[in-house]
Amino acid sequence: MKFCERLKDYREKKNITQAELSKLSGISVRMIQKYEAGIARPRWEASEKLANALEVSVSDLLGQSGMLIADAHEQGGAKAAREVKALVDELVGVFAGGELPQEEREAYMAALTKAYFESSAENKKYTPKKHRK
């Protein structure tokens, strides 16, 4: 289940409107609409506010892949989040047949995310100084 579907599902289970969720979380109605439509993804702080308003954990709201993407954003910024999201999206197809148990899938995804950050750190050695951030 995607983040946008989980958000809408939790909101409907709590029997509140987008406007009410906006008041409870402090996030604008327009952003909640974008999140539920799958147009935008919340940053970590917004995810925490939404989870608190819906009385669920952030990991339940974001899901495993969402947690990996949020972690990537915290560690490496928007570019890292985009790259990890693309990696996760590609890997979802690998698991579409349901060959691995959920626990092993999560371990596999976490290992790939770790490998991404380790290779990014290693590659910085080879980036010319004028292009480093």
Q: How far is C-alpha 83 from the chain's CA centre?
A: 12
Q: How far is C-alpha 106 from the chain's CA centre?
A: 14
Give the pLDDT confidence score for residue 92 in this predicted structure. 63
**How do residues 14-73 score in pLDDT, each as one tens digit?**
999 999 999 999 999 999 999 999 888 888 888 889 999 999 888 788 776 677 777 777
Burial class of 15 by CB neighbour count within 10 A (0 to 12, 13 to 18, 19+): exposed
Give the pLDDT confidence score for residue 69 in this predicted structure. 76
**41 closest CA partner among 17, 65, 14:** 65
Alpha carbon distances (Å) from 52 to 32, 85, 103, 125: 14, 24, 26, 41
Give the pLDDT confidence score for residue 84 in this predicted structure. 78
**82 closest CA partner among 71, 92, 91, 69:** 69
pLDDT band of residue 82 (cuts 50, 70, 90) is confident
101 token code pair: 């148990």
Give the pLDDT confidence score for residue 95 in this predicted structure. 58
**What predicted TM-score, i.e. pTM, was given to this entire model?**
0.60
pLDDT at 104 over 80: no
